[in-house]
Amino acid sequence: MKTRTENILTVMNILAWVAFVGLMIKAGAILVAFAVTWINPDAAKNLYQGLDLYSLRQYSMTQYSLNVLMRVAILILEAYTAYLVIKVLSKIKMVNPFTIEIANVLEKISYFILVIGIVALFYSTHLGYMMKNVPGLQRDFEPGGYLFMAGIVFVIAQIFKKGVEIQTENELTV
């Protein structure tokens, strides 16, 4: 019979898969819609789920492309981070939870979240500049949350590494 913690980890694994697939679909849908806007500029009025970048496309195709590609980069990085979470959740065992492999993947997750935060910072700065010249644009990625989350996950990874050290020492002394 599974413990409560194992059940929670199973549910979290399923949710991570849902997030991964959803983020990849969203990134793909935006890329396909972006390609369509090269043929039909009016499609930028409803790029994806009500996202209206038509005024930005009219202002500058370069700025429009940069905006869309940074948005897609953030989504792909988020999807990869969800994939790394799936790896952690599928490899963690309640009998021996502290392994160097899990600690390293957690550290990698923190680095990818940091990269997402940096890309979101560039995106937010670019969008802020564009909002002065193009009416109707709205912010949708805030970098502060990503940077904070990266720090938290990094601390957890360091705790896991310390747990590995303690676990190894205990195995040697027994």
Does the model's pTM come out above 0.85? yes
Q: Residue 142: its pLDDT value, please? A: 79
Rounded CA separation 40/65 (Å): 15
Q: Residue 79: its pLDDT value, please? A: 96
Rounded CA separation 60/108 (Å): 36
Domain ranges of the chain: 4-173
Q: Which pair of structure tokens corresponds to residue 54?
A: 């038509």
Q: Is 99 left (phi over 0), alpha (psi -120 to 50) or beta?
A: beta
Q: Residue 173: its pLDDT value, please? A: 67
Rounded CA separation 9/91 (Å): 11
Q: Residue 167: its pLDDT value, please? A: 82
- Regions in the chain scoring below 50 on pLDDT: none
Q: Residue 163: its pLDDT value, please? A: 86
Q: Residue 1: its pLDDT value, please? A: 53
Q: Residue 95: its pLDDT value, please? A: 77
C-beta separation of 73 from 132 below 8 A: no
Return the amino acid letter for 15: L
Q: Is 143 left (phi over 0), alpha (psi -120 to 50) or beta?
A: alpha
Q: Residue 19: its pLDDT value, please? A: 95
Q: Give the number of other CB atoms < 10 A from CB of residue 166.
A: 11
Alpha carbon of residue 99 to chain centroid: 24
